[in-house]
Amino acid sequence: MATIAKTIVATGATSGLGFELVKQLLAQTQPYKFILGARDTKTAQAAFDGLKYDGSKHSLTIFPLELSNLKTVKTFSQQTLDKLGQDKIDYLLLNAAISKNAEQPGPFGSKWKYLEEDLKGGSKTERSVYASTKFVQLLGAHWWHRQLKDKCQVVAVSPGLIPGTNLARNSGQAKEFVNHPDAKSVPEGAQSIYRAFTRDDIPEDPEQIFLTSWGEWWPKDVYGLTLDKALQDKWSPSKEEIEKEEGLTS
């Protein structure tokens, strides 16, 4: 009997950790259907074609997507739904990041890129915005976990310190990260993400959703501040609020 293909919809999968994860999955005997978003679809398609994966087993569709432009996000979402038809999504991977200093403007002038003063493009804060944005993302993961209770499992994953992704290229500390004792390779980081697809030991505590790069469920005291539901709500504006702010609704 043929193995049923699993469907993965992913952002941030055309380079770095995301690309490596898809590469590893394309080498498996388990068939996959990928729907990916990319800024440059032609370059992304060429990169995946270069893997010479088994097209009779796996399928891969790439649609245009610029995550900092809500119009393309909406278009990508609709194209994905059209492509899926009545099929379900087995895994939704929200993986993407940029590493820029806060004195630089946010792309497309969107205030939704950075919500507070220190995180807004052009704020010129001396503090690192990377850690702050990770904090906000974890707030969002908890918010989605609350909204999607009993419908799907939400897991936040730390892939570890991966200098090979070049995410630290704007920080001035790239060389230091390479020699850090906790540094991991890109393939190891991809495996950390893959664990979230395969783990069946989800803690009973609904607030314990953070999987570390060591394969452990992080205790809540490590990220206790993100458990504040008021903060989760504040940093998770509704679809209607975002679309109105971006001028996509009247």
Indicate which CATH number applies to the domain containing 4: 3.40.50.720
**Confidence at residue 28, expressed as pLDDT on a 0 to 100 scale:** 94
**Confidence at residue 69, expressed as pLDDT on a 0 to 100 scale:** 87
**Confidence at residue 29, expressed as pLDDT on a 0 to 100 scale:** 93
Higher pLDDT, 168 or 44: 44
Residues 103 and 86 in one domain: no
**Confidence at residue 138, expressed as pLDDT on a 0 to 100 scale:** 94
Of the residues 76, 96, 116, the one at which a domain ends: 96
Residues 50 and 148 in one domain: no
By residue range, what is the domain housing residue 197? 98-250
Tens of pLDDT, residues 147-202? 999 899 999 999 988 888 866 555 555 566 777 778 899 999 999 999 999 999 99
- Residue 245 makes CB contacts below 8 A (sequence gap 6+) with 111, 112, 237
**Confidence at residue 185, expressed as pLDDT on a 0 to 100 scale:** 92
How many whole angstroms separate alpha carbon 144 and alpha carbon 137? 10
- Interval 94-106 mean pLDDT: 63
Residues 232 and 219 in one domain: yes
Q: Which of 96, 213, 232 is nearest to 162 (CA)?
A: 213
Helix (H), strand (E) counts: the chain: 8, 6
Of the residues 53, 74, 96, the one at which a domain ends: 96
The helix (run of H) or strand (run of E) holding residue 196 is helix 186-198
- Interval 205-228 mean pLDDT: 94
The residue annotated as part of the active site, out of 57, 134, 220, 234, is 134
DSSP letters spanning 204-225: SSTT--EE-TTS-B--GGGSGG
Q: Are 167 and 177 in contact (CB under 8 A)?
A: no
- Interval 1-27 mean pLDDT: 92
State which amino acid sits at residue 228. D
Residues 26 and 135 in one domain: no
Residues 91 and 132 in one domain: no
Residues 44 and 7 in one domain: yes
Tens of pLDDT, residues 120-161? 655 565 555 677 788 889 999 999 999 999 899 999 999 988
Beta bridge partners of 64: 38
Residues 137 and 233 in one domain: yes
Residues 145 and 76 in one domain: no
How many whole angstroms separate alpha carbon 63 and alpha carbon 45? 10
Higher pLDDT, 117 or 78: 78
The residue annotated as part of the active site, out of 53, 114, 130, 223, is 130
Q: How many domains does the chain have?
A: 2
Tens of pLDDT, residues 224-234? 999 999 999 98
Residues 74 and 108 in one domain: no
**Confidence at residue 116, expressed as pLDDT on a 0 to 100 scale:** 63
Of the residues 41, 64, 96, the one at which a domain ends: 96
Query: Is residue 130 annotated as part of the catalytic site, yes or no?
Result: yes
**Confidence at residue 114, expressed as pLDDT on a 0 to 100 scale:** 47
How many whole angstroms separate alpha carbon 133 and alpha carbon 97? 10
Q: What percent of the chain has pLDDT over 90?
A: 63
Residues 71 and 187 in one domain: no
**Confidence at residue 98, expressed as pLDDT on a 0 to 100 scale:** 57
Residues 57 and 117 in one domain: no
Query: Is residue 223 annotated as part of the catalytic site, yes or no?
Result: no
Tens of pLDDT, residues 79-92? 999 999 999 999 99
Residues 15 and 79 in one domain: yes
pLDDT band (50, 70, 90) for residue 216: very high
